[in-house]
Amino acid sequence: MSENDDLSELLGKPGESVPVVDVADLKAMWNYGQILKAEHPEGGVAVGMSVWKQVLPPGVDIRAVGYRLGMLNMFEMMLRAAWTIGEPSDNAFKVAARMELKWAEVGVVHNGFLFNLEGFLAEVQYEAARPDK
């Protein structure tokens, strides 16, 4: 099995929609990542599926949660150069959990974001302005 085949098992089929996930699961994975960053500021830490199965509730699509969080983290990393953010807002987590997103093909270089950045920002603004909050 090639390295790309191994990576493909961790992702869905390229071009197919990434399943919508629960906001609480997205936040749980993010929070655990923050703990790991604090414990290992030099980086170089990998987390296996068995750990995520302990962090997240049974039956959660760990691949989808991780992929969606990866997109949110990529966005945060791009903004970090402009200002220190701290952590994503609840609205950003809500939108990241449900936004239109496709699985990327392993080994293919992409220019720009793998999601509609303007749409993401517009939905976050909408969430922030919702009167039923």
Which among 115, 38, 106, 109 is positioned nearest to 69, based on CA atoms? Answer: 115
Chain center to CA of 117: 14
Residue-wise pLDDT tens digits, 18-72: 999 999 999 999 999 999 999 999 988 889 889 999 999 999 999 999 999 999 9
Cβ partners under 8 Å of residue 82, min gap 6: none
Q: Are 21 and 64 in contact, with CB atoms under 8 Å apart?
A: yes
Long-range contact set of residues 55-62: C-beta below 8 Å, sequence gap at least 24: 55/28, 55/29, 56/25, 56/28, 56/29, 57/25, 60/21, 60/22, 60/25, 61/19, 61/21
3, pLDDT greater than 70: no
Mean pLDDT rounded to a whole number for the chain:
85
Q: How many Cβ atoms are within 10 Å of 71's Cβ, its own excluded?
A: 18
Residue 4 pLDDT level (bands cut at 50, 70, 90): very low
**Amino acid letter, 16:** E
Predicted structure pTM score: 0.82
